[in-house]
Chains A and B, each alone.
Chain A
Amino acid sequence: DAGVTQSPTHLIKTRGQQVTLRCSPKSGHDTVSWYQQALGQGPQFIFQYYEEEERQRGNFPDRFSGHQFPNYSSELNVNALLLGDSALYLCASSASVGTGFRQFFGPGTRLTVL
């Protein structure tokens, strides 16, 4: 049983560009959350998708958007990249959130903005 997978592993972009990160949840999971982890800090919640809709959003600008597909996989899109967007982007999946079900994390995508 594959766990949470993310692609690509690493990505280098320049300021102003757009990027798309991808996540496939663990088998049996229908909820996907995205987190941003800057160097030396804990992960920060970006948003969560359930039933192909954004269910909750953290304190991130509209440049950050997402999508969930019918197979529960998800994409994170970031427009007009800033140097401060450089971080490890983590995807987490769960069967249900808010009822004590564990979130499982993928290995992350390291984004570097030059």
Chain B
Amino acid sequence: KQEVTQIPAALSVPEGENLVLNCSFTDSAIYNLQWFRQDPGKGLTSLLLIQSSQREQTSGRLNASLDKSSGRSTLYIAASQPGDSATYLCAVEYGNKLVFGAGTILRVKS
């Protein structure tokens, strides 16, 4: 069964901290892995996409890594800001579908 797990479920940090969100998946036969951001009641915004042949992707203060062999990905957020407060979702692409984790709710306190 293809399952995606995200740890922690929730995280509260002071502004300026560097933080790491974790994602693990059970089936390593992936096409790619994406990290999304979701604000309350809103749709999904794609942050980073890592192809199965890649090890990491970077965009501004965000860096995502992928280790297919161990079934893990991490999202690193540098110098967190209150505007980063949102739910972060990890999604693994298997064939024609995305399998999502339940998300990590991030709160950055000013």
- A binding-site residues for B, Cβ under 8 Å: 33, 35, 40-45, 48, 55-56, 58, 88, 90, 92, 97-100, 102-108, 110
Q: Which residues of B contact A102 (CB under 8 A)?
A: 34, 46, 49
The stretch from B61-69, B71-79, B97-105 touching chain A is B97-105
Majority DSSP secondary structure for residues of B touching A? strand
Interface contact A45-B97, CB-CB below 8 Å: yes
Cα–Cα, bound, A88→B89 (Å): 15
Interface contact A40-B102, CB-CB below 8 Å: yes
B4 close to A (CB within 8 Å) = yes
Q: Which residues of B contact A108 (CB under 8 A)?
A: 42-43
Cα–Cα, bound, A102→B44 (Å): 12
Q: Which residues of A contact B32 (CB under 8 A)?
A: 100
Interface contact A56-B100, CB-CB below 8 Å: no
User: Which of B31, B32, B96, B101: most chain A Cβ within 10 A?
Assistant: B96
